[in-house]
Amino acid sequence: MSYDISALRKFVSPEIVFGAGSRKAVANFASNFGARHVFLVSDPGVEKAGWVAEIVDILVSAGIRVTLFTGVSPNPKVDEVMAGAELYRSNECDVIVAIGGGSPMDCAKGIGIVSAHGRSILEFEGVDTVTSPSPPMILIPTTAGTSADVSQFAIISDPDRRFKFSIISKAVVPDVALIDPEVTETMDAYLTACTGVDALVHAIEAYVSTGSGPLTDTNALEAIRLINRNLEPLVRNTADAHLREQVMLASMQAGLAFSNAILGAVHAMSHSLGGFLDLPHGLCNALLLEHVVAYNYTAAEDRFRRVAEAMDIDTRGMSKPVIKHRLMERIIALKGAVGLEAKLAKLGVTTSDIPYLSGFALQDPCILTNPRKSSRRDVEVVYAEAL
């Protein structure tokens, strides 16, 4: 019997525990994996906020040894992954726990891959290159946006090429995600805005992706709705526990959507930009979003109409060009309200950088599921519009 493989959809996700206080289950899960010596990955900011000490206490109280690794930059680099993997090996650790934003979580995923294979992380660039299972991995996100805690992506920076490369594999989906809105209370308004818009981009790109399907669509649309309604008030009042929980839930749903439907040109261009200038990933996405929406609109008009409706735009009786205009207006207004209005030129991008950036964007696997096929010239034009 023959069947159409393109019509099949798989959906991968970790075991998820969502809710205030879920981080405190870390020792139970580590023990379930037979942990004797946990390798804990984080970064200096999360450590300063006090979350690392709490996790260490919980693990040590359960009789589990801990080796701490906080040598992670805001965009994790190849040598940091390799240094972490060497420390993991020399201390004979057996389970990886990461607490932090996308950077410590991506670094932890890289450390897991290297410790399982004993080879450079550079050898795993691309899709399905991982052949051996990583050690058990428990991720605790401290930001509501990157969704590394639920995804099959790890994004690593290669400073030699000034390029961020993607590793996409079921093997990098963590075993457990402890998604605890309480740990996002130490995020400032700017980081809340950056990561919240990152989650919005995840949801929009996943919904219009050529890899989308019924298993990802419901998550993507609900994430768009939640962010559209809750991100602005949260940025104004980061202490509001209910709003934090709503945006954290949105981030998780956006992550489940994009991990399985993959992304599009915003992320391909943003990875190139973030590798080139070492900028916050969420900010790069924010600066490109409406320009890519405008470029993609004609290739997925019905889908973008549903995105507009999820952003509380009443599209009844509207022509397609009007819907496009209103959607872009709403995206720009939301970005403005949360303070992400800069242009690429302000961040140091010049016209002469665009060919270089475009070359790397076209090599990114995210471009493959963009709803409109993109040539180098297309990508150059979109970068130019965002300058």
pLDDT tops 70 at residue 115? yes
Where along the chain do the CATH 3.40.50.1970 domains lie? 15-184
CB proximity list for 216: less than 8 A, separation 6 or greater: 9, 11, 206, 207, 209, 256, 257, 258, 260, 261
Alpha-carbon separation of residue 110 from 107, 161, 211, 365 (angstroms): 5, 18, 25, 18
Q: What is the pLDDT of residue 61?
A: 98
Instruction: Provide the pLDDT for residue 77.
Output: 97
pLDDT tens-digit readout, 201-242: 999 999 999 999 999 999 999 999 999 999 999 999 999 999
Query: Which tokens sit at 385?
Result: 């519009």
Chain-wide mean pLDDT for the chain? 95
Question: Tens digit of pLDDT for each residue in 64-76?
Answer: 999 999 999 999 9
Q: What separation in angstroms does the CA of 240 have from each of 160, 184, 232, 234, 298?
A: 42, 11, 12, 7, 39
Of the chain, the percentage scoring pLDDT greater than 90 comes to: 93
Decide if pLDDT at 280 tops 90.
Answer: no
Q: Is residue 4's pLDDT more than 70?
A: no
Parallel, antiparallel, or unpaired: how do β-strands 37-41 and 163-168 relate? unpaired
Query: What stretch(es) of the chain map to CATH 1.20.1090.10?
Result: 189-386
Tell me, what's the pLDDT at 3? Answer: 52
Residue 279: predicted pLDDT: 84
Q: Look at the domain 15-184 and name its fold.
A: Rossmann fold (3.40.50)
- Average pLDDT rounded to a whole number, residues 15-33: 98
Q: Are 328 and 293 in contact (CB under 8 A)?
A: yes
Pairing mode, strands 95-100 and 37-41: parallel
Q: What is the pLDDT of residue 83?
A: 98
* Residue 9: per-residue pLDDT: 80
The predicted pLDDT at position 70 comes to: 98
Tens digits of per-residue pLDDT, 127-139?
Answer: 999 999 999 999 9
pLDDT at 6 over 80: no
Is 60 exceeded by the pLDDT of residue 377? yes
pLDDT band at 62 (very low <50, low <70, confident <90, very high): very high
User: Residue 1: pLDDT band by 50, 70, 90 thresholds?
Assistant: low
**Exposed e or buried b per residue across 65-86, where buried means at least 16 C-beta atoms within 10 angstroms of its C-beta:** ebbbbbbbebbbbbebbbbbbe
Output phi, psi for 95, to 5 deg: -140, 140
Which CATH class, in words, describes the domain spanning 189-386?
mainly alpha
Task: Give residue-wise pLDDT tens across range 141-190.
Answer: 999 998 999 999 999 999 999 889 999 999 999 999 999 999 999 999 99
For residue 170, count other CB atoms closer than 10 A to its CB: 12
pLDDT of amino acid 5? 54
Q: What is the pLDDT of residues 310-365, one digit of tens each?
A: 999 999 999 999 999 999 999 999 999 999 988 999 999 999 999 999 999 999 99
Question: What band does 277 get if pLDDT is binned at 50, 70 and 90?
Answer: confident
pLDDT score recorded for residue 362: 96
What is the reported pLDDT for 2?
56
Distance (Å, whole) CA 57 – CA 59: 5
